[in-house]
Amino acid sequence: MFGEENDLSSKTCNSETIWVCGASTDGQLPINKKTDIKYLTPIHERDIFPFGNKLKWIGAGDHFTIFVTRSNVVYGAGQNKYGQIGLDHCKYLQGITRVPFFDHKHIVNISCGAFFSFFLEEVGNKQNLFACGNNSKNPLGLGKREEKGIYPPQTVDLQFLEENDSIDKIVCGFESTLLLTRNGKIYGCGNNDSHQIGISSRNATMFERSNLDKLLDGEKVIDMSLGTSYSLLLTNLGNIYTNGGSKYELTKIGLNLSPFEKIHCGASTGFVKVGKQNALHPRRILYLGRISLHNSILIEDRLHLINQIPEDEDIIITGGVTAFFFITKDYKVYCCGNDGRGELGIENQTVGHTKNNIVRHHKMEDIIRKTRSLNGNAIPTIVAGYSHTILYFRTEETRDYLRFFSNLERHVFNTTFLSDVTFNF
């Protein structure tokens, strides 16, 4: 079913291999062992998906994982206590399971919170948003339905969107959700105890227009990230703002370091990338320490340069709640955070959450370089849940397929089941 962790042969290192590590006590990793996987371990797609299905997207939450194939079939693995997988029940899963609800649906985005999930479907120019899982704090935006388990997936009413606007990004926190639209508008629902979603009430049962983007003066939000009790916003001017804590306001951070290019936050810590125009630290990664009360001086004191990661134009910042990865343009890999369940997949190295605990991930580098030496189009992608991590490879063929599929879908009849069509590249 899966190979040895030290197997870097050409048979293993190819774009059809998925590498996993971390906790799998609830079966969230598609392997036969329900234990912690301390090292990156390979699994071939053919051992996970029947009939030659190829992987397209992955989403991960707290002890569960969602897989979407290129033929638009959705599978789930792991904890299903609240119906977060998308099935019509909340029963224990014996292994990776197909989710029939999403058959023939063109899923273009998945976002998982702690115990809930969102699936975004596109049919031509129309979007459909589906939600399922724990709704005890209303993070699903389905109205006043404070239920612990919502299943099967329910359709979210998108009438709150302005005309000619659409969802660009879905960001799930522990008990909250934010939507960012293509026009830079933000909508939020769920827990707002720390003002993290920027609405006036402590809890929103349906998606409401957030005040986060309204507080900006002439700037457009182009990216956002949501922690347990705060959020980060990146604007088109390269400024970063944060909110949360005891005050209902936005605080601009990195006053002397803007413009910024990228943001990523976990439960209570974050990372930002400085833009190339900055004279002091161009294209460098900064560590944003624990955010609590909004005081600009305190926040500035928590912003530290990570010396271990060199200047890089196209560095990727990714990770989960407590485990973080950085991939440079030449595929050097750095990591930091919690590895108590093996979620970093490193071997006998000491790591932590601070700026001084960044380490090279030589094993992941070897996997990426070996895979790309055999398939130069392979693009490494890391998805991290709350305590497990998956490395997989997308290819240029996959991206061409997605464009072709999207264009085809605009012109087919509704009775055509596109998942039954076979494409060869």
- Whether residue 21 contacts residue 28, with contact meaning beta carbons closer than 8 Å, is answered with no
pLDDT in tens, 395-417: 765 544 444 444 443 333 333 33
Task: State how far the Cα of 202 lies from the Cα of 182, in Å rounded to an integer.
Answer: 26
Strand duo 388-394 + 17-23: pairing: antiparallel
The arrangement of strands across the sheet holding 359-360 comes to 316-319, 323-327, 333-337, 359-360
Residues above pLDDT 70, as percent of the chain: 85
Residue that is written with structure tokens 């049919």 in the block:
123
Q: Which two tokens stand for residue 234?
A: 């990146």
Q: Give mean pLDDT, residues 185-201.
A: 93
Give the model's confidence band at 146: pLDDT under 50 very low, under 70 low, under 90 confident, else very high: confident
Lowest mean pLDDT, pick from 106-115, 164-173, 241-250: 241-250
Main-chain phi, psi angles of 272, to 5 degrees: -135, 150
Question: Could you give the angle at the alpha carbon of 365 between the alpha carbons of 323 and 113, nearest 5°?
Answer: 25
- Whether residue 317 contacts residue 295, with contact meaning beta carbons closer than 8 Å, is answered with no
**CB-based contacts of 421, cutoff 8 Å, min separation 6:** none
pLDDT in tens, 57-72: 999 999 999 999 999 9
Task: State how far the Cα of 271 lies from the Cα of 289, in Å rounded to an integer.
Answer: 9
Q: What is the pTM of this model?
A: 0.89
Task: State how far the Cα of 322 lies from the Cα of 267, in Å rounded to an integer.
Answer: 7
Question: Smallest Cα–Cα separation from 287: which of 257, 247, 243?
Answer: 257
Specify the pLDDT at position 420. Answer: 35
